[in-house]
Structure 1
Amino acid sequence: MVHAGLLIIRLVIGLTFAGHGAQKLFGWFGGHGVKGTGGWFESIGMKPGIMMALLAGLSELIGGLLFAAGVGTWLGALLIIGTMIVATVKVHLANGYWATQNGYEYNLAIIAVALGVAMIGPGAYTLL
Structure 2
Amino acid sequence: MINSGLLIIRLVVGLTFVGHGAQKLFGWFGGTGIEGTGNWLKTIGLAKGAKVWAILAGLFEFIGGLLFASGVLTWLGAAMIVIVMIDAIFAVHGKNGYWMTEGGFEYNFVLIAVAIGVALTGPGDYVLLYQP
Question: Under a length normalisation based on structure 1, what TM-score does the superposition of the two structures give?
Answer: 0.99
Of all paired residues, the percent bearing the same amino acid is 64
Q: In structure 2, how many angstroms separate the alpha carbons of the residues matched to 1:23 and 1:67?
A: 18
Describe how 1:57-68 pairs up with structure 2 within 5 A: 57-68=58-69
Q: Which residue of 1 aligns with 2:100?
A: 99
RMSD: 0.5
Q: Show CA shifts across 1:89-111 (max 9, x none).
A: 01000100110110000000000
One-letter amino acid matched to 2:35: K
Aligned residues: 128
Shift of 1:79: 0.3
Report deviation, 1:37. 0.3
Q: Secondary structure at the match of 1:66?
A: helix
Unaligned 5+ residue runs, structure 1?
A: none
> TM-score with structure 2 length normalisation?
0.96
- 1: CA distance, partners of 2:26 / 2:45: 22
**Post-superposition CA distance 1:52-106 (Å, at most 9, x none):** 0000000000000000000000100000000000000010001001101100000
Output the CA distance in 2 between the equivalents of 1:39 and 1:75. 28
Aligned counterpart, 1:12? 12
Structure 1 counterpart of 2:81? 80
Runs of 4+ in 1 over 3 A off after TM superposition: none
Q: Deviations over 1:16-51 (max 9, x none)?
A: 000000000000001000000000111112231111
Distance 1:42 1:72 in 2: 33
Structure 1 or 2: more helix by fraction:
1
Tell me how far apart the structure 1 counterparts of residues 9 and 36 of structure 2 sit (CA, whole Å): 30
